[in-house]
Amino acid sequence: MGDKLKGRNAVVTGAGRGIGRAIAIALAEEGANVVVCDIGGAVDGTGGDRTPADQVVEECRKHGVKAIAQYGDVSKFADAEAAVKACVDSSGRIDILCNIAGIDKPKMIWNMSEQEWDQVIAVHLKGTFNFMRCAAPFMREQKFGRIINTTSEAWLGGVTHLNYAAAKGGIVTLTWGGAQELGPSGITVNAICPRAKTRMTDDPKVREMVVKRVEKGLMDASVLKRMDREMVDPSAFAKIAAFLASDDAAMINGQVFLTTAITIARYSKPETVTTAENPTEGPWTLDMIKAAFTPDKLLKGYVNPAPPPKEEKK
């Protein structure tokens, strides 16, 4: 056990299983007291069970720290308020907030129901807002705080679950903006973008597909090797969250990190890549706009990510 977070008090959502569990334990190993928040639901957000949160509380306590469970739903503002209050009531402060809870309800957009959209946005995006909103006043008062949000590579446009991808994109924006608003109060806001084997990602069919592609020479064998090294228990990188929560990371703010068992990578913020200026003093005309959308101007270096089939008729 280390002492990098000794005396610090953390709230970790989604801490009953997977990545949240690994991070809660990593924080406890470094001496932090932990509020373990988890509804104990299925991957699709149905059901509830207190056992996972209770078990993680027991595991944290083995490291000699205080740990308590909260079984609320992160998408409900009152439950976020209660979890943050539980942390402050039991330890006097909330120093660390890790927003990890998540669900997945994959569907192509033409099959996605309004409810499937709303529920995924509510758990990921509103849930992250709820806890940031409730923790921020305490952290500002303390002039100290560490917020670690969770995005996903789906943020970059993951198909088959646009509800999830859009929520994860929103979390990146919350992280960038939150860092700007809270940084001057001694609070850092960063996000992790994990790759790990959890019940959310453990699909043997994906590995089988990669094996077949490697066998057919359609994919390099290094892809499979990398996959096998990365799709492991999230405890392999959970200490990255402990680092971001520590005093050593005081100057790391507003960043998004890919976190796997073998890699830590820092994402850039998108920037404009091509520009066209209005050549007149008046409004853009259709002719001027058409002249701007050319391969030497706005479309320089552009590739359509999903062109229609060539034979398709309009």
Ligand X SMILES: NC(=O)c1ccc[n+]([C@@H]2O[C@H](COP(=O)([O-])OP(=O)(O)OC[C@H]3O[C@@H](n4cnc5c(N)ncnc54)[C@H](O)[C@@H]3O)[C@@H](O)[C@H]2O)c1
Catalytic residues, by residue number, are: 152, 164, 168
Taking the C-alpha atoms of residue 164 and residue 276, their distance in angstroms, rounded to an integer, is: 33
Contact between 196 and ligand X per CB under 6 A: yes
Q: Which is nearer to ligand X, 93 or 195 (CB)?
A: 195
Contact between 134 and ligand X per CB under 6 A: no
Q: How far is the CB of 199 from ligand X (least distance, A)?
A: 5
Contact between 102 and ligand X per CB under 6 A: yes
Q: How far is the CB of 302 from ligand X (least distance, A)?
A: 28
CA 34 remoteness from chain centre:
19
- Name residues contacting ligand X, limited to 255-314 (CB under 6 A): none
Out of 10, 12, 19, 120, the residue judged to bind ligand X by CB under 6 A: 19
Q: How far is the CB of 17 from ligand X (least distance, A)?
A: 3
Taking the C-alpha atoms of residue 209 and residue 57, their distance in angstroms, rounded to an integer, is: 38
Contact between 31 and ligand X per CB under 6 A: no
Pick from 178, 11, 20: which is nearest to 96 by CA?
Answer: 11
What is the residue type of 168? K
How big is the site for ligand X, counted in residues (CB under 6 A)? 32
Q: What is the x/- site pattern for ligand X, positions 200-229, by CB under 6 A?
A: xx----------------------------
Do the beta carbons of residue 188 and residue 146 sit within 8 Å?
A: yes
In this structure, the number of other CB atoms found within 10 A of the CB of residue 250 comes to 11
Contact between 30 and ligand X per CB under 6 A: no
Contact between 101 and ligand X per CB under 6 A: yes
Interstrand relation of 256-259 and 187-194 (parallel, antiparallel or unpaired): parallel
Q: How far is the CB of 126 from ligand X (least distance, A)?
A: 10
- Half-sphere CA count of 302, side-chain side, radius 13 A: 15
Q: How far is the CB of 149 from ligand X (least distance, A)?
A: 9
Q: Which is nearer to ligand X, 144 or 150 (CB)?
A: 150
Q: Which residue is nearest to ligand X (CB)?
A: 18
φ, ψ of residue 56 to 5 degrees: the values are -70, -35
Out of 68, 195, 238, 242, the residue judged to bind ligand X by CB under 6 A: 195
301: left (phi over 0), alpha (psi -120 to 50) or beta: left
Alpha-carbon Rg for the chain, nearest whole angstrom, is 22
Taking the C-alpha atoms of residue 24 and residue 13, their distance in angstroms, rounded to an integer, is: 9
- Name residues contacting ligand X, limited to 148-187 (CB under 6 A): 150, 152
Q: How far is the CB of 131 from ligand X (least distance, A)?
A: 10
The secondary structure of 129-185 as a DSSP string is HHHHHHHHHHHHHHT-EEEEEE--GGGGT-TTBHHHHHHHHHHHHHHHHHHHHHGGG
Contact between 52 and ligand X per CB under 6 A: yes
φ, ψ of residue 16 to 5 degrees: the values are -75, -25
- Name residues contacting ligand X, limited to 60-79 (CB under 6 A): 73-75
Out of 29, 30, 38, 95, the residue judged to bind ligand X by CB under 6 A: 38
> Binding residues for ligand X, per CB under 6 A?
13-14, 16-20, 37-41, 43, 45, 52, 73-75, 100-103, 123, 150, 152, 194-196, 198-201
